[in-house]
Structure 1
Amino acid sequence: MTLPALFIPHGGGPCFFMDPEGGPADPMWRKMQAYLAGLIGGLPERPKAILLVSGHWEEDQVTVHAGNGQPLLFDYHGFPEHTYKLRWDAPGAPDVAARAQELLEQAGFPVGVERERGWDHGVFIPMMVAVPDADIPLVQLSLRKDLDPAAHIAIGTALAPLRDEGVLIIGSGMSFHNLRARGPQVTPVADAWDAALVDAVTDPDPVRRAERVTSWDSLPHAQFAHPREEHLLPLMVALGAGGAGPAVCDYRDHVMGWAVSGFQFG
């Protein structure tokens, strides 16, 4: 059975785990938390492994993490002390890492291999919600520093065979990511950006869809929504991995005044 590819919002820092007693998240984040908690149960079958591209890891060439991601990389700042002691002890999947490397090299991409870097919060924060028992192996894949949209769509296309091999491909980022713009005054502009992005990403023609998303920076308010686009590029990988299958917006909410969306491909 073929698994979909997903683009998910990963929240803000350790937003789902701010209570040191393990209580519920701030109400603003609870809809996103519920969405992430339902990811695995909503799939046609439980994946044997996850390949995840986070907006928090960039390398000169696309790089496969072939280790187990431990200890975690707490790459956020200014949060309560207990949030730097969170645990998500899932194993790595070196066989899936090797397969991803093979597919990317067959498509003509130079590929780096890394084993020591911890999984960043674009990985472990959403996965602590989606896979709380940490019982699905995971491989992280980097972005390329050039943040070339077409190249990242092509990277996803190269990885698409993994979907038939029991691997869930996830792009983890945020569809809106301007940390200097927060609050209700941002919402009208964020809504206009989100409507344009959703329309492009869900275009029923897969060729036109890829063309429109490659030209994301021509959409209304694009530079305001993403002063730097590293949190959007994981969407490109997921879209490429989805191939000619349908594309749907399966999550939308507002946090910090931002309209935030998630997508499922294939």
Structure 2
Amino acid sequence: MKLPTLFIPHGGGPCFFMDPAGGPPDPMWRPMQAYLAGLVASLPERPRAILLVSGHWETPELAINTGDGHPLDFDYFGFPPHTYQLDWPSHGDPALAQRVSALLAAAGIAHHGEERGWDHGVFIPMMVAVPDADIPLVQLSLRADLDLEAHIAIGRALAPLRDEGVLIVGSGMSFHNLRARGPQVTPVAEGWDAALTAAVTDPDPVARAARIAAWETLPNAHLAHPAAEHLLPLMVALGAGGDDAAVCDYRDVVLGWVVSGYRFG
């Protein structure tokens, strides 16, 4: 059965795990937590593996994480000590990493393998979505040139995985500007989010890709993303989604930002 592809929000730092006693997060984050917690159950079948692209790993040439993601990479700062003791003991999938490499090679996309820990764009949302860490995961980097068309092409090359039980996930944030927070940002963020969602959900897949590739022309684009690294995982998910219909299946306000998640297929 063909799986959809997803672009999910991964929150802010360890936002879902701020209570050292393990209690629920700040109410602001609870709708996002509930969305992530329901992802696997919302799929037509449980994936045999996950291929995830995070906004927190950039390499000059595309890289495949061929390791098990341990130790975790606590790449956030200024949070309570217990948030640097979190664990998500998942495993990699060497066979999937090899399959990803073969698909990229067939498409003429330069890449290499390396081992590293999971960054928080992986382990924070996955601790919610797959709390038992019982679905193996392979992480793919972003290319450091942040070329949008190239990342759409990467997604297209990987699309056959959807028929092989692999869930392709882009992990980022549809709005990501750490210098613009609070309720005064929300009306501006609304305009950006409406324009982004209209582009992502365009029923014509060719027009959809073109509109997303031209994201910088959308209203308030550079306020929403001073840099594109948290938006680029969307390009991979969109490319892998191919001609399938796209929907916005999550939308809420956090930190004054309007944040959306998208599903293709």
Gaps of 5+ in 1: none
Matching residue of 2:140: 141
- 1:216 to 2:219 alignment: no
Q: CA deviation at 1:61?
A: 1.1
Q: Distance in 2 between matches of 1:97 and 1:216?
A: 30
- Which residue identity is paired with 2:15? C
What letter is aligned with 1:188? P
| Letter of the structure 2 residue corresponding to residue 110 of structure 1 | A
- Please, what TM-score do these two structures have when normalized by structure 1? 0.99
* Aligned match of 2:48: 48
Equivalent-residue separation in structure 2 for 1:146 and 1:209 (angstroms): 22
What is the match of residue 14 of structure 1? 14
* 1:235-263 deviation line (CA, Å, top 9, x unaligned): 00000000000000000000010000000
Q: Does residue 159 of structure 1 match 2:149?
A: no
Report deviation, 1:122.
Answer: 0.1
TM-score by length of 2: 1.00
| AA aligned opposite 2:133 | A
Shift of 1:112: 1.3
Query: Are positions 1:84 and 2:84 aligned together?
Result: yes
Secondary structure of 1:230 counterpart: coil
What are the residue-to-residue correspondences of 1:29-40 with 2, within 5 Å?
29-40=29-40
Please list, as runs of the form range in 1=range in 2, the aligned pairs for 1:91-170 lying within 5 A after superposition.
Answer: 91-115=91-115, 117-170=116-169
Residues 93-127 of structure 1: per-residue CA shift (max 9 Å, x gap)? 11111100110111010111012x10000000000
Partner of 2:74: 74
Over the aligned positions, Cα root-mean-square deviation in angstroms equals 0.4
CA distance in 1, matches of 2:253, 2:238: 23
Aligned residues: 265
Structure 1's consecutive aligned runs of 4 or more residues displaced over 4 angstroms after TM superposition are none
- For 2:236 and 2:3, the matched residues in 1 are separated by 15
